[in-house]
Amino acid sequence: MGIGSAEYIADRQDELRLVRRRRRARTILIYAALIILSIIALLPVMWMVAISLTPLNKVFQYPPRLIPDPLSFTGYHEAVTLFPFFRYFLNTSFMTAARVIGTVFSASLVAYGFARYDGPWKEVLFVFILTPIFLPEQVTLIPLFVGYTRLGWIDTYNPLVLPAFFGGSAVYIFLLRQFFMTIPTDLDDAARIDGASEFAIYWRIILPLAKPALATVAIFTFMASWNDFLGPLIYLTSKEKLPLSVGLSRFLGESGTTLWNSLMAAAILTVLPPILLFVFAQKYIMQGIAITGGGAKG
């Protein structure tokens, strides 16, 4: 039975067909697994949306339904009337915006210093500034609270916002320094010859070139700040200053019988901005996680 014989060729063709069929079966299996996993992944949020559109007297019904019947928008109406959604939304937005601005500017300033200038103790200072990455924030929580109390800063946004203007999270300093080091120094030198100040080089040359990295930092800070719970829980006391996170958890405890449909409506409205950001800036988020290892805190 030679290689060219009809029998051999038929055999090889059968084999090939089998391999192809097996490969196709595998692809179908993978798609099936991905689709099932996608449904599982989305189910919790879809469920919350369903409850938010259910009239209160049907929230606790059996069997539970993914498509509410009848549809009701009372939940959303109450989420913006009974629950001061807009007030809390503004508070969260202010806190988040301030932290994003503070972190982007101060972290990039520090990162630029480390990326471009040399001086005694530079390495030691770099390690020193990065150590908070490995410190649990709980260790500093109590003295900070005591300090802010002495300063009369409890129930103000200062404790929540000011640290962002002093370098923010150390992870971002690291991330930005890494990025700045990839920008060639020729541009700096050219600008220097043209008489640009060192700050102008940072501001007019480095920052515009580092937009993708800055976007990543901004997005992570946004996400962390939007979801921050422990900070506002500790530092804010008056109801009208609360962000959405703490506001939501209070809404749960307030009424004897919880208005679950309104609570879910408020929860859905709360996660909408992060979802939108994810949809439009997915690329930066994925890249950022791969670089920082997802250990980014706000």
**Residue choice 81, 230, 240, 280 for contact with another protein (CB under 8 A):** 230
Between 210 and 266, whose beta carbon lies closer to another protein? 266
Binding pattern to another protein, positions 181-200, x when CB under 8 A?
Answer: -----------------x--
Angle, to 10 degrees, between the axis of helix 211-227 and the axis of helix 85-116? 140
Only segment of 68-76, 78-86, 117-125, 179-187 that touches another protein (CB under 8 A): 117-125
Residue 196: CB atoms within 10 A of its CB come to: 16
Please work out, in degrees rounded to the nearest 5, the angle formed at the alpha carbon of residue 290 by the alpha carbons of 112 and 222.
65
**Residue choice 248, 259, 262, 284 for contact with another protein (CB under 8 A):** 248
**Residue choice 132, 153, 187, 204 for contact with another protein (CB under 8 A):** 132
36 binds another protein, rule: CB under 8 A: no
**Residue choice 94, 153, 165, 203 for contact with another protein (CB under 8 A):** 165
Between 10 and 28, whose beta carbon lies closer to another protein? 28
* Backbone dihedral region for residue 182 (phi beyond 0: left; psi -120 to 50: alpha; all else: beta): alpha
Tokens of 181: 């080091």
Between 9 and 18, whose beta carbon lies closer to another protein? 18
Between 5 and 295, whose beta carbon lies closer to another protein? 295
Between 25 and 142, whose beta carbon lies closer to another protein? 142
The Cα 32–Cα 44 span in angstroms is 20
**Residue choice 5, 13, 81, 140 for contact with another protein (CB under 8 A):** 140
249 binds another protein, rule: CB under 8 A: yes
The amino acid sitting at 257 is T
114 binds another protein, rule: CB under 8 A: yes
Please work out, in degrees rounded to the nearest 5, the angle formed at the alpha carbon of residue 29 by the alpha carbons of 23 and 30.
90
Only segment of 5-13, 93-101, 123-131, 184-192 that touches another protein (CB under 8 A): 123-131
In DSSP notation, 148-174 reads HHHHT-TTSSHHHHGGGGTT--HHHHH
Tokens of 225: 């700040």
Whether the CA torsion 266, 269, 274, 275 is positive or negative: it is: positive
**Residue choice 216, 221, 245, 262 for contact with another protein (CB under 8 A):** 245
Helix (H, G, I), strand (E, B) or coil at 57: helix
Whether the CA torsion 70, 258, 160, 291 is positive or negative: it is: negative
Please work out, in degrees rounded to the nearest 5, the angle formed at the alpha carbon of residue 206 by the alpha carbons of 204 and 210.
120
Number of residues that bind another protein (CB under 8 A): 95
The alpha carbon of residue 224 and the mean position of all alpha carbons in its chain are separated, in whole angstroms, by 5
The Cα 258–Cα 60 span in angstroms is 12
The Cα 178–Cα 286 span in angstroms is 17
The Cα 85–Cα 96 span in angstroms is 16
Between 10 and 37, whose beta carbon lies closer to another protein? 37
**Residue choice 244, 259, 262, 298 for contact with another protein (CB under 8 A):** 244
238 binds another protein, rule: CB under 8 A: no
**Residue choice 57, 131, 238, 257 for contact with another protein (CB under 8 A):** 131
Binding pattern to another protein, positions 74-103, x when CB under 8 A?
Answer: ------------------------------
152 binds another protein, rule: CB under 8 A: no
